[in-house]
Chain A
């Protein structure tokens, strides 16, 4: 199936831990994104990479570090997790910076 995929689907962890979320797209797209959707369903961009280059870096704590090993992958590492990091994190991709964005299935992160 051609798609944007994420792992894991659910992540439950304790405060202070470090965790990673992985994203892969097999659509041949050049641009990938991380979004955060909070409990009120508000969708907000965190990061965007185009051809492995960081393009958008919103006001996100530096505990969040994205990494793009190649155009098909964009991972998100989070250090020292806090209660407020609990949310659904969506990866997305687009053919180009100006292209339509397609979302992955999301990772529900719960910090206890």
Chain B
């Protein structure tokens, strides 16, 4: 089955800096890659997603890049703010079974 590795597990940045979180996946048939933000005690919230026919997608300060050959995808957050502090999860969905496999999460702390 699919295996998703996520790094780093914790990331601390200063307000205004950029943050990058990286994920790799094992199933070359995976075709959908969402990113979720989960604040303490809250639900995971979809912040951006990308499909396998696209290499990059941006939404204001957030961007995701996908390298299908290398089977990795990354989340980029620019001009970080304290309210960006949360756990971020990447996920990959297989082509045949529609199952979403999550990475283990990255705790991002943005220091004011």
| Interface of A toward B, CB cutoff 8 Å | 40-45, 48, 55-56, 58, 90, 97-98, 100-106
Bound-state Cα–Cα, A102 to B37, Å:
12
Interface size on B, residues (CB 8 A): 21
Interface pair B43/A101, CB less than 8 Å apart: no
In the assembled complex, B11 has its CB within 8 A of some CB on chain A: no
Interface pair A45/B43, CB less than 8 Å apart: no
In the assembled complex, B99 has its CB within 8 A of some CB on chain A: yes
Bound-state Cα–Cα, A98 to B98, Å:
7
B106 → chain A closest CB, angstroms: 10
Of the residues A58, A97, A98, A103, contact of B44 by C-beta under 8 Å: A103
Bound-state Cα–Cα, A55 to B93, Å:
14
Interface pair A98/B97, CB less than 8 Å apart: no
Interface pair B32/A98, CB less than 8 Å apart: yes
Interface pair A41/B87, CB less than 8 Å apart: yes
19 pairs across A/B with beta carbons < 8 Å? A41-B104, A41-B105, A42-B102, A42-B104, A42-B105, A43-B44, A45-B100, A55-B98, A56-B97, A56-B98, A56-B99, A90-B43, A97-B98, A98-B32, A98-B98, A101-B46, A103-B45, A105-B42, A105-B43
Interface pair A106/B43, CB less than 8 Å apart: yes
Chain B's closest residue to A42 (CB) is: B104
Interface pair A43/B102, CB less than 8 Å apart: yes
Contacts of A104 in B (CB 8 A): 43
The 9 tightest CB contacts between A and B, nearest first, are: A103-B43, A43-B102, A97-B98, A103-B44, A41-B105, A105-B43, A56-B99, A100-B46, A45-B99
B107 → chain A closest CB, angstroms: 9
B34 → chain A closest CB, angstroms: 6
